[in-house]
Chains A and B, each alone.
Chain A
Amino acid sequence: MPQRRDAAVVGIHEYPLRVAPGISPLQIKAESAAKALEDAGLSWSAVDAVYDTGGDQGIGGLGIAEYFGLKPRIIDTTYVGGSSFEFQANHARTMIAAGKCNVALITYGSSAHSDRRAIGTAGATGVGPVSPINNMEDPWGLTLIGNYAMVKTRHMFQYGTTNEQFAAIPVATRRHAMRNPEAVKAMTDLEFVGVRDLTTQDVLESRLIAYPLRLLECCMVSDGGGAVIIASPDVARNVRKKPVWIIGGGEATKYRENNGDITVSAGAQAAPIAFGEAGVTPAEIDVLMAYDSFSITVMCLIEDLGFCKKGEGGAYVGDGHLVFDDPRKPGLNTDGGGLSSNHPGQRGIFLLLEATRQLRGESTSQVRDAKLAVAVGNGGQLGSRHATAVTILAAD
């Protein structure tokens, strides 16, 4: 199938702060939207499609277009947790290709840190909707981190993956974070113990949060946000910077099933769709932006996207594959990732931002001759129900 270049990322902005008291998620979204449009050289009123996880003003996505003061032809408030932004990018590409819109705006804003939300350790509160899922899961005291930890337990049992191998993920991405001034400021402002490169031993000696996951295998909880502008080829040809083309997209969901394999993410279903559309293989990818809520998330995504065989992720990540300057590509999470740069609750948008920076040649840990990048978001909770979307991007 010939590769299609129907839509491109033409403008990006990452809100620079991770500790931002006194600014609301809506304000972060509006500021990021304005700066992403400026990055592209497009006007505010050029936006004719709005993608947003919604909810800031209630009733799903009602309220976001009004807050911005836009009159979009498309409003899409797909919300599946942290991967929402890859879903939305794929949907925007499809709608642009169908001629329904020309300039799509995706925004994100969160004050998770300043609100002091204990996302990972709060556990079921018993105050969510009265539903079958909540009724079956509320009583057991499972925290979000424990949910992912159950996947790690099974991965170690089923494939013999070791803690040392898992540690290779935070060690590599911390190295990238130390080269990214915004990530260094993030870790400093969030009062990380030791804003420096990590060793395997550091990871193995950090405290257990939910066995077998340790502190340094868990993402931060920050404030933050950003915006992405996706546009049609006609628009993309006239923007300030080189467009970054979206050449493939796939999405899937997965949930607890009798006899199901918890180590296999929805990425296994989404990836062939995306790679098939793009007409490329994992071996050709230069940059992998994989949702790193936890070490285990990355392990599963690397395997399920086909960068190695299922169950061989431990050996793959353990041999130095992940760093930006290793000749064996892809480089992983070159901005520092959710582990060491930015995770305000839903990290997906940052995967698109750094993938775009890489393909423009603007990363602080630039992969040499980067031509192809994958952004793979994983939202929800890996051990129970989650949604994975893969977005494949290509340099102009």
Chain B
Amino acid sequence: MPAKRPQPRFPEPDTQPFWEATKRHELTYQTCDKCHAVVFYSRRHCTSCGSGTLTRRSSQGQGSVYTFSVIMQSRHPAFAELGPYAVAYVDLDEGFRIMTNIVGVNDPTMDIHCGMRVKLRWEDQGEGELSLPMFEPA
């Protein structure tokens, strides 16, 4: 069995609520109560106006590939034997951009393109542990 991927580590109060929600398969983002900006990744303040009043919301998990790379060579033990795998930025329809993996394709160098519609696919990391939000073709 390959080594486990590097996992988020806590305590880290900004992103902890985001990762806690993944245990319930909820992909969350924030909006500012004052200026309505979309804030991502999770923070305690609005990155547009500095307000400390934000609302956490759940995404529908639909979006499109903004850009991607296919990693052919990684020395990290969790990824070294994986074969080519795709890392991407996905733009969710709610207006936030997340780094993620694109899965569920045959050849990531051929089957992924910018603008492609994708949908959320959870990759559970173990019983009671967090889940990684990945994406596959919609």
Rounded to whole Å, the gap between the CB of B92 and the closest CB of chain A is 9
CA distance A121 to B6 in the complex (A): 15
Contact A125 B6 (CB under 8 A): yes
Contact A141 B76 (CB under 8 A): yes
The answer to whether A121 touches B75, judged by C-beta atoms less than 8 angstroms apart, is yes
Contact status B15-A123, CB under 8 Å: no
A: interface residue count bin: 35 or more
Count chain B CB atoms within 10 A of each CB in A124, A139, A146, A210 and give the residue with the most: A139
A138 to B7, CA, bound (A): 7
Q: Are A208 and B97 in contact (CB under 8 A)?
A: no
Q: When A150-B68, A150-B89 are in contact, do A124 and B114 touch as well, CB less than 8 Å?
A: no
Indicate whether A201 reaches chain B with its CB closer than 8 angstroms. no
Task: Assign chain B's interface to a size class.
Answer: 35 or more
The reply on B115 being an interface residue by CB < 8 A is yes
| A195-223 CB contacts (< 8 Å) to partner B | 207-213
Q: Is B122 part of the binding interface, using a Cβ–Cβ cutoff of 8 Å?
A: no
Alpha-carbon separation in the docked complex, A139 to B98 (Å): 12
Q: How far is the CA of A143 from the CA of B78 in the complex (A)?
A: 12
Q: Select which of A131, A207, A256 is within 8 A of B89 by beta carbon.
A: A256
How far apart are B84's CB and chain A's nearest CB, in angstroms?
A: 7
Within the complex, which residue of B38, B40, B71 is in contact with A142, where a contact is CB–CB below 8 Å? B71
The contact of B41 among A130, A132, A138, A154, by CB within 8 Å, is A132
Report whether A132 and B74 are in contact in the complex, using a CB–CB cutoff of 8 Å: no
A213 to B72, CA, bound (A): 10
16 A-B Cβ contacts within 8 A?
A: A122-B74, A123-B71, A123-B76, A125-B76, A134-B8, A138-B8, A139-B6, A141-B5, A143-B74, A146-B71, A151-B67, A153-B68, A258-B40, A258-B96, A258-B97, A260-B97
Which residues from chain B sit less than 8 Å from chain A, CB to CB?
A: 5-12, 14-15, 19, 38, 40-43, 66-76, 78-79, 82, 84-85, 87-89, 91, 95-101, 108-109, 113-115, 132
